[in-house]
Amino acid sequence: MYNSIRNIPYSSLRREILLKRIGLLFTLLILLTGCSDKGTKIENTTAYDEDKLEEVLDQNSHVKLAIALLHEKDLITGIRVNTFSRFQKKKIASDIKKKLEKAYPDLTVTVSADSKVLLETKKLIDKEKQDEYQKKIDKIKSIEKEQT
């Protein structure tokens, strides 16, 4: 039987519609995976190599987002964990802290899964005023101690 509008057999028409739907589905999947929220942002004002830091943060599958600041003798890291890992936030943060202390023994390492620490670290990096870093770092450390 033929479609009266185009003179195309129904089986070909169904096949064409199916191919269009599959193409649309693949396009949608590619767009959604490209917009994923996983990432790390690192600000380094020291001579230390930040590759180890990025490697430790990327290795952990529970970390969704990480923002880190290396300044003088301090390493401040705020992390956001995946939704299903939220009940293990302290454990994940302490594991990352141990790995970072091993990688950077000379630095004072602060790692927190608290959203306040993450946001304050992000604000500090975005401000780009290095002369105010130490005062804000002390504030972030006090916020982290407040949570424990």
Tell me the average pLDDT of the chain. 81
Alpha helices in 35-110 (DSSP H): 51-59, 89-103
The per-residue pLDDT for 10 is: 62
Mean pLDDT calculated for residue range 24-36: 76
How far is residue 83's CA from residue 71's CA, in Å, rounded to a whole number? 30
41-96 pLDDT, tens per residue? 787 778 788 888 888 888 888 888 888 888 888 888 999 988 888 888 889 999 99
Report the SS3 class of residue 98. Answer: helix
The per-residue pLDDT for 136 is: 80
- How much of the chain, in percent, has pLDDT values that exceed 70? 86
pTM: 0.67
Q: What domains does the chain contain, in order, with CATH numbers? A: 1-36 (no CATH), 39-147 (3.30.300)
Q: How confident is the model at residue 35 (pLDDT cuts 50, 70, 90)?
A: low
Contact of 60 with 96, CB cutoff 8 Å: yes
The per-residue pLDDT for 21 is: 92
Which letter, b or e, does each residue of 29-49 get, where b requires 16 or more Cβ atoms within 10 Å of its Cβ?
eeeeeeeeeeebebbeebeee
